[in-house]
Amino acid sequence: MLALARDEAFRTLLEPHRRAITLHCYRMLGSLHDAEDVAQESLTRAWQRLGQLKSGSATQAWLYKIATNACLDLVKSRRRRVLPWLHGAAASPETPQGPPAHERFWMEPAPDALLEVPDDPKRGPDAQASMRESISLAFITALQFLSPRQRAALLLVDVLRWGPREVADLLETSVVSVSSLLQRARKNMEARPPEEISPPEPSENGELLRRYIQAWESGDLDAFIALLAEDARLSMPPQPEWYEGRESIRRFLAGVLAAEPRRYRLLPLRANGERAVAVYRRPITSSSAYEPAAITVLSFRAGRVSEMIRFTSPTLFPLFGLPPRA
């Protein structure tokens, strides 16, 4: 009975904050896998130290402190996560791809469901728009170029709307130090090129997404290329190579499809505030089920597909609540 009572207490006191803490960790770390792990670790630590909690109303702030410090400890031992086009120049379609880089080097996408945070009392009436901007891949990537403490201060004040005194208490520093961290963080964010920090225009074009899916599933390369902007960009973490321009992407994909013909099935979803697709594939010669291949986050501009970030990591599928077969 005691164990059941403890489990129920965990569910009612700590579990309701899991999504908010996971979202905060994702912004800090740029990795959905790491965010899930740190959020779970933070909830476990909180449960083990429950006697230190002064009041139930302070639960969320206490959890944010535990999770933020766990994130700060983790990033000390990790390289910052980036996207391929921030790592090197565009590749030539005719040059063979090298080995994939370690997955811990790359950004990861996150499902829009992570934005459904019902227990944040600081969200104002314009919260939904600002929340989506604060989970865009552009914003999350730009955050990774800040120092860890600058990152924490910026997120707590500018995104979560904490006061400087609250942040100072969380970081165990002074209000003056928090103000300095914020000033440097904002200056560093403003210094980045606008295209690196500004989210793409809203991608509500369902018809364009439908045509994108149809072109992939039918294997019609010409129809697919016709959907792209002239300066479209394709990247495929963990591969470091990326391709820029409609013609470059055409030549690369023509080579891939000729070397390894496959059938594809795509499921629409949303990730990081954008349209996205879950990509399942199987060899043409096989009659087995389609297996997880990648999650592709799309950006649209002026009725064209302007960017495709294909995260080739099947381990993301369960974190998005996606089926193991299609």
pLDDT for the residue numbered 47? 83
Q: Is 101 exposed, middle or buried (0-12, 13-18, 19+ CB in 10 A)?
A: middle
pLDDT for the residue numbered 197? 57
Tokens 């994702």, residue located: 26
Tokens matching residue 205: 């074009």
Report d(CA 70, CA 21) in Å as an integer.
11
pLDDT digit string, tens, across residues 3-25: 444 566 666 778 889 999 999 99
Is 3.10.450.50 the CATH classification of the domain at 206-320?
Answer: yes
Which whole number is the average pLDDT over 262-291? 90
Phi, psi of 290 (to 5 degrees): -70, 135
pLDDT for the residue numbered 80? 86
pLDDT digit string, tens, across residues 208-244: 999 999 999 999 999 999 999 999 999 999 999 999 9
Report d(CA 79, CA 53) in Å as an integer.
34
Pick 154 or 193 by higher pLDDT: 154
Half-sphere exposure of 224 (CA within 13 A, CB side): 18
* Of 87, 68, 70, the residue nearest 79 (C-alpha): 87
Mean pLDDT estimate for the chain:
87
Residue 277 pLDDT grade (very low, low, confident, very high; cuts 50, 70, 90)? very high
pLDDT digit string, tens, across residues 168-196: 999 999 999 999 999 999 999 988 876 66
In total, the chain counts a number of residues equal to 326
DSSP 44: H
**Is the pLDDT assigned to residue 99 strictly greater than 60?**
yes
Distances in Å between the alpha carbon of 95 and those of 91, 252, 255, 257, 279? 7, 9, 11, 16, 25
